[in-house]
Structure 1
Amino acid sequence: MDAIIKELTNDFVQLARIALTGRQQDIQLLIHRASKKFKTLNPELAESLIALIKESPTRIAPLRKRAEPPLPVDLDSRLQLLRVEQGNLDSEPILSEDIKASLYQLLFERRNTQALFNHGLVPTKSVLFNGPPGVGKTMAAKWIAAKLNKPLLVLDLAAVMSSFLGRTGNNIRFVLDYAKNTDCILLLDELDAIAKRRDDSSEIGELKRLVTVLLQEIDDWPSTGILIAATNHPDLLDPAVWRRFEMVLKFNNPTIDQIEHQVSYLLKEHIVKVDEWSKILSFIFNGASFSEIERKINQLRKSVVVEGSSLEEKLEQLISSNDALSKEQKIELARILYDSGIVTQRRAQQLTGVARDTIRKNLKKV
């Protein structure tokens, strides 16, 4: 009896090894479930299956070896359907505490896959980022790839959307099949462009079928990889899309403290009293996205170089030309300016248009 069990154990492990040399995603869940079931009945078999999954053939990351298949291309335009982003980030992304906690959970799972396998579990394989443009969704995807030392493959929607709609579905399959068999992180940016609500009467049937194709591919995604999708328009997504993702994270516009942190990082090598200016500019930029703030500061720096002026002068011009603030906001800005010690009450009046008496009264209230 013991000999039979041992033989069956060897046969099952060999069968699993053969299956895993093909489409891993088709068999992995079955192997995980079997290892959990046999953990008590046959611990040796369970341990062998877990070890097999852990030691399955390593997939090669794109562009690292010449033997790697070329990136998929559109058959009509010959444009590459994916772009590859590699390398470390210049700085850590500025994230809210809840998003940071979720992303670290994702990393911890990937670094402890063996422990998960031992309990019949698999790491999170699909994540959906939603929020307005410029709030750090793409940066977060790059950060995950950098932390896991994997290339980030980004779907190029311009290339995927073929003039022949039937081929667009094929392009999506080409991209996802390639990423499934590559050691990478895949980012589907602007997901709403290809996963719109199927009850939208303005969309033709072929585009609706694309959503079905995408849903099937997400369901089939292997646990060995990570699929990240991002959207600026969550209201346009088909309801079935939300259920396909194991983790959904909402990105918002930065808070005052986050803006102050970003401005300090962008200006720390270019201006004195960076802490004071960061506090002032966090008030000015309140409500803007990270990308808008970076773009505006870079424009100011370019003006300084071209015109030969100082950055402080340009920042004061930015303050004086800000007409979007209400009367109450201008009073608060004048108080912050004077409290910073950068300008006098007279200069605070000139920059904001708030009378010096009003500034003094508000200083007393504070």
Structure 2
Amino acid sequence: MLAALRKDGQDEQAAQLAKLLERGEQAGRMQPSRVVLSRAALPGEAITPSVRPPVDKETGAALADITLPAMLHLAQAPVLNSTLHGSVEALIEEWRHLDRLRAMGIRPPLNCLLFGAPGTGKTKLAQLVSREIGLPLVTARLDGLISSYLGTTARNISALFSFANRYQCVLLLDEFDAIAKVRDDPHEVGEIKRVVNTLLQCLDQRSELGITIAITNHEQLLDSAIWRRFDIRVAVPKPDLGSRLDIVNRYVAPLDVSLAERRFLAWLTEGLTGSEIETLANAIKRAAAMSSNPEFSVLDALKVHALLSSNHRQYPRWEQLLSPIEALAATLAGDRELAFTQEDLARFFGKDQSTISRWIRKHREVT
């Protein structure tokens, strides 16, 4: 296919396709490194399997979950676009070599805020960072931290940070906006101010002692003073076309899906998060498992999923999926980023190239 594009003088489309294919082969990138953080770089004790997390004094509920490095190696790395991938690698390198930075008189930034839409892989990214630097991950549990008793939430936050400061670990504060809201909320009758003030004090103290990663889907809800406490603030975007192809390649396995179908899935899922693409891939695999037709159609399965999930009401490309087949073929033929040839379309729709050519010509005459 690449050769055909170059032969026809379509060098730009050929270059785009080559890039997508190369990215599709790199879904397993960012594998664990052998270079981990020096134990002397951070104060505190090592967490062993016998260490138990702190608990709420009233209820006995755990304030955190502890994941040791051996278990973090089982976590799947998120698929990142090339820009974010490079930024995360640079951050990991800094945190691996804290001793070098301090030897140069540099204060390393140890607080990182990850924000973006739900399902973009922020939690997986935090797990990846912890895994790469070889530290246990201490993940705060909101069901344990937040209490209806006056003053208990602030006390639990202090207990959580005291625990994290005692040990060498990465502290992960997921759904961070639940405890870091703007302090002028009129419905909080003073309790949120107490909680945020405690959180500010704890973040300041920990900034010299250990690594903290906070995650939020609603960065606009964060108190401005909390926002300023984070030296590193990373927006985790929805995946671009190349990243979506990586995600499709990862999650459609072991189903035998052609390259044209996988590229179409990457095109169709514009605006979706990685989590939503995984859900879509699982829906296709369920449809394939239940189908008695040996000529299983990914396109038909997608149309059923579109109607059941109402995706076509939110995303224009899903509306095109449900349009007449000739119109969809013409749309795909004209998409420069996708770079589908008539041979691709013939294989995708199960038709010959003359039929595809007639569909495209007919649609262009109408429009």
Relative to the length of structure 2, the TM-score reads 0.73
**Further displaced range: 322-331 or 283-292:** 322-331
Match of 1:42 in 2: none
Q: Does 1:103 align with 2:108?
A: no
Q: Does 1:93 align with 2:75?
A: no
The correspondence for 1:286, drawn from 262, 270, 286, is 270
Match of 1:299 in 2: 283
Match of 1:21 in 2: none
Distance 1:301 1:251, change over 3 A: same
Matching residue's letter, 1:332? T
Match of 1:60 in 2: 46
Matching residue's letter, 1:160? L
1:173 to partner: Cα distance: 0.9
State the SS of the aligned residue for 1:175: helix
Match of 2:230 in 1: 245
Report how many residues are paired.
Answer: 302
State the SS of the aligned residue for 1:220: helix
CA RMSD of aligned residues (A): 3.1
TM alignment of 1:1-366, pairs within 5 A: 54=40, 59-61=45-47, 64-66=48-50, 68=51, 70-85=52-67, 86-89=71-74, 91-273=76-258, 275-307=259-291, 312-319=296-303, 322=306, 323-324=312-313, 325=316, 326=319, 330=328, 331-333=330-332, 336=340, 339-340=343-344, 341-344=346-349, 357-360=358-361
Q: What CA distance in whole angstroms lies between the structure 1 residues aligned with 2:278 and 2:261?
A: 15
Distance 1:363 1:316, change over 3 A: farther
State the SS of the aligned residue for 1:153: strand
Match of 1:35 in 2: none
1:338 to partner: Cα distance: 5.5
Q: What CA distance in whole angstroms lies between the structure 2 residues aligned with 1:315 and 1:152?
A: 41
Q: What CA distance in whole angstroms lies between the structure 1 residues aligned with 2:261 and 2:112?
A: 37
Which structure has the larger Rg over C-alpha atoms?
Answer: 1
Q: What CA distance in whole angstroms lies between the structure 2 residues aligned with 1:310 and 1:88?
A: 38
Matching residue's letter, 1:142? Q
Q: What CA distance in whole angstroms lies between the structure 2 residues aligned with 1:131 and 1:55?
A: 30
Q: What CA distance in whole angstroms lies between the structure 2 residues aligned with 1:224 and 1:241?
A: 18
Q: What CA distance in whole angstroms lies between the structure 1 residues aligned with 2:106 and 2:243?
A: 36
**Further displaced range: 296-305 or 213-222:** 296-305
1:230 to partner: Cα distance: 0.7
Relative to the length of structure 1, the TM-score reads 0.73
Matching residue's letter, 1:110? W
1:231 to partner: Cα distance: 0.7
State the SS of the aligned residue for 1:165: coil
Distance 1:78 1:357, change over 3 A: same
